[in-house]
Chain A
Amino acid sequence: MTAPGRSLLDIDGLCVSIGPRQIVKNVSLGLEPGEILGLAGASGSGKTMTSLAIARLLPAGAHTSGAVRFRGENLGEKTEPALCAMRGRDIGMVFQEPKSALNPLMSIGDQVAETVRLHVAVSAAEARRIARETLDRVGLRGEQGASGRLPYELSGGQRQRVAIAVTVALTPALLIADEPTASLDVRAQAEILQLLAGLARERGMGLILVTHDIAVLARMTDRLAVMHEGEIVEQGATEQLMRDMSHPYGRALLAAARLQPKHGAPARQASAPILAVSDVVREYPRTRRSLWRAALPFRAVDGVSLHVDAGEIVGLVGESGSGKSSLVRVVLALDRPQSGVVRLLGEDFSNASGARLRRLRRSIQVVFQDPYGSFDPHWTVERLVGEPFFLLDSPPASAERRRRIAAVLEQVGLSPGDARRYPQEFSGGQRQRIAIARALITEPAVIAFDEAVSALDVIVRSQILGLLSELTVRLRLGCLFVSHDLNVVRSVADRVYVMQQGRMVEHGPAASVFASPRHAHTQALMAAAALSDGSPRV
């Protein structure tokens, strides 16, 4: 598939290989000034390597062929010093992690000014003026002396704004943003994407937006390319492409990204809830500022109540810092609440200890967000999945133990033979299945999912969500599903709770909360989430 010659950027037959592996195969793309191109694909599809190849920033040992023409010049023929001069001035890049993109010891204004002075001969005062204006434009005005602040004083979203300011200060002709919002929560995500699109339009920059979330691209881009295993399998005008994707992979990606709201409520249980949280308060001590007075503690969870019935999925939504994770730690009895109580199967769980705590722990398990950090790398899957057997008074031994581990692995869609392998041998989605197997092994009544699908690609995500819904019904599990992503919660949850700054601001059946949110915060979250619900641009 070849794109017609484009005036700003013209990639023709680009191939990248590292060692024997070919990572990018015969990619051809083009871009006009002021145009927004989306590059979608799962992790490992070669989209990041493609964007790095454009700026000639590939890791050492990578071999490229094919032509990358920028304003008609072949970048492959340029020397490194010439490329250095172009990067930052003509080609700007925004990366995923704003934390590592900034110098922690330099004020944000200086960081923007530094880039300016590096590329154009202006006075220090002039560079500072440009820096101030750019920071204003990316939304970092407000208080006096915003440009004097240091990166650690800023939130993740604000840092990403600074990184963008550094990149756009000189209005590069081409801007490449590689997963610029992957580490941000849903509201910051929407704001950053709108900022990038707005800047590209008003300054006539060409923007390449790289992400695994095709739903976001559907809303933001003029043209769209879908990558799969190093190849571009679909390319065209976004609106047209969203209507008729022809390649099966493109269709699968789109279907997975378009999460359908869950329909129908489960049959209400007359019995008492299996998990009941009442008026829980969780405070953390703050470092004291004064020698004479202890600092007031930080109240992460402020009088929160919720309950989970058997066989239902309860969503808990909130931005990062809203106290969701602190609440989950209390629910799992990893932390004790300062006041309030967590009841599990009618018994006091938050104040239990000794044998009673052990017995109750069997009934609640957890799946964490990070499929890479959730497993001890030195343990086999069998040992990892069997770890919660420790909670049983007479844990099954040898053959019986193996049989039960094999059974639970099959339940989550893995094979019993996987038990002898190590977690590193599995992909992110498979690891999340292992984590679910570990949670199921003691046949608990409740499982907490703490952002359990946030680190996954859309296709893997929809598979895990499917598994979760199926297990809930089949095993009559109660699930507490914690996520910042409203679209995900909407697709699985029967009831939903919304948290903001440690308080529960809204709760009710998912269908009614999402149809007519009453609290202003829920409405704001809904508006931000609409950006990536897979519906076309309006």
Chain B
Amino acid sequence: MPDANAVQWLQSLNALTGGLFLLVTFGLVSLRQIHGCLRLFVAQSILLATSAFLLGALYHTWHLTVVGVVDLVTKVVITPWVLRRLLHDEVQTRREITQVLNIPTALLLALALAITAYLLASPLVALGGGAAIGVNLPIGLAGLLIGGLTAAVRREAVPLFLGLLAMENSSFFAGIGVAPEMPLIAEVSIAFDVLILVFVVGLLTRAMHEHIGTTEVGALTALTEEQAP
């Protein structure tokens, strides 16, 4: 059992990680560049892994350490590599992406969602169950909602997909705080699902780009035959 001082330090570092996680999630809504979005997603995954390591040390479970390592391998190393590899033109050369809402409006919406998440989480946290829940549950919930918002307001395939991945990240972030003893097999299988998802979406986007020359899924409301002369 670590002494009380170490516990307090671990908890405050976890709280800091949570704060940065929230900040990065806000960044995902507001950033314009695809490459920047990808970098923010990587940062978010690193923060998730950090929180997993800290909570693993706090609760003495090696499960969470494994979760952190799996997260680092799949989301920090493989996912960006695959996306850069498959969608080189999209990620590296396109700088500006369009949005359904303008960025200040989207940010204010994200803020409202974050406050909602805190309000929703407070009765659950009041039930007790460890100090880490007070950080991880509301922030994970906020990230889940904001990730959904990102997926809704983005019109391009890659940032939209990154919004979905951010939702997955956030649910993990809440999960490691609520259920540190979750069966490892569930976590590992989710992580591999994410990898397969990355491959499928990457290939799909590439095929889309080859056929219609753009990945703006927001523009895909009319059939191409209709527009042909």
Q: Do A and B come from one complex?
A: no
